[in-house]
Amino acid sequence: MVVEKVGSNSMANISGLRGPLWWMQWAKRGWAIAAVGFAVFVFALSVASYYRSSEPESNTANAFHHITTSDLIDLTLLHSAKDRGALCLDGSLPGYHFQKGFGSGAKNWLLFIEGGGWCNTIESCILRKHMHLGSSKHMGRRVHFTGILSPYPDHNPGFFNWNRVRIQYCDGAFIAGHPDNELKNGTELFFRGRLIWEAIMDELLSFGLSKAEQALLSGCSSGGLAALIHCDEFRHLLPKDGLAKSLNKDCVARMEPDRCIFPEEIVKNIKTPVFLVQSAYDFWQIQNTLIPKASDPHSYWQNCRLNIYNCNSTQVEILLGFRGSLLKALNDFEKNKEGGMFISSCFIHCQTLMTEIWNSPKSLRINNKTIAESVGDWYFNRSAAKLIDCPFPCNPTCYNVNFTRG
């Protein structure tokens, strides 16, 4: 599993936010869930072993490919979902994009869950009904597969010929909500993520996932949290149950359930091998959890929030502490022999779906390794893959987002 993860101290800086409506009803406290700031890959075999084959042969050329209409993957609406009540926020059918594997990857599967935050009020959930994050009526009918989903061996050497699935996110609650938690006040909001997950899994199982030799569950941002939530279940294809029952029982017995959905708690209890991908200077986390606009009324952080090179020395020191909280949270995980990590120091969010960052001549590198190479080293058991970048601004290969540009 590959996770872009925030540290516990970073999470403690979250203020003024609330979880999804279903979460507010279920939990005693409406803690904001900072896992929206990370991307996750969850490795899980659909057979009862940790068997990892050698990496498939691939073309190691580094040329970029001109994307044509043949690269566009159609949206598949899940028609079987209607009878199961597995609906998007607005009641429309959920969907996914699927590209069939071939050659040595014909029996291997890679699933990617899209991100998009969450809705935390009735108004924000209603708003999502009118966009792709809450309705298949507004989803892109055809999408390009890039980064970890790319069909080109030079862009995606480990997984280019696998069966690849891009799962659209339309329930506003990490594909984990349940109809039992819906409001009964005429708002007509459907929190059916749990049912969507089950329906998609059943359909993919019928397409060949049930016979997969290898499988990787991945996601970006809130899709990363969804991948964490469903990680062990994906591996074992456990019986159907609700989100609360999906949380680790020891954790729930030890602390309030809402705390058990924080990534550092989830990772402690996941049995599936995990690989974490995260920037220690994730711009989404900095802009929305560390220094949200509401906490900066005099716009002291405005320039820094838009371009990390505009941060003054005091702000850089605070960001360094933010990085330190992440590394502290990873102390125990770093000792996990089956785990891997790629912790960069770039001002970026979601690194695995961007081909230029995932694997290209200009890719981000730590110890001369791209993210794709590091994940491949871990997944195919070639070598240890626990890479932690030096603090900003030490890495010249970083791609740092600049929001001051038009």
Q: How far apart are CA 117 and CA 134, in angstroms?
A: 11
Q: Is residue 111 within a helix (H) or strand (E), and if so which, with residue range?
A: strand 108-113
Please indicate whether residue 345 is annotated as part of the active site. Answer: no
The single residue of 10, 92, 221, 344 carrying the catalytic annotation is 221
The single residue of 132, 155, 178, 349 carrying the catalytic annotation is 349
Cβ atoms of 56 and 103 within 8 Å: the answer is yes
Cβ atoms of 97 and 145 within 8 Å: the answer is yes
For residue 266, what are the contacts with CB-CB under 8 A and spacing of at least 6? 228, 229, 231, 248, 260
Cβ atoms of 209 and 44 within 8 Å: the answer is no
CA distances from 299 to 13, 143, 250, 307 (A): 18, 37, 43, 14
End-to-end CA, the chain: 36
Q: How far apart are CA 38 and CA 350, in angstroms?
A: 7
Q: How far apart are CA 167 and CA 230, in angstroms?
A: 13
Residue 138's Cβ-side half-sphere holds a number of Cα atoms within 13 Å equal to 15
> At residue 206, what is the residue type?
S
Omega before 393 cis (within 30°)?
Answer: yes
Tokens for 73, please give them: 């993957």
The single residue of 154, 171, 232, 282 carrying the catalytic annotation is 282
DSSP lists the bridge partners of residue 43 as 216
Please indicate whether residue 144 is annotated as part of the active site. Answer: no
Please indicate whether residue 221 is annotated as part of the active site. Answer: yes
Residues involved in catalysis: 221, 282, 349
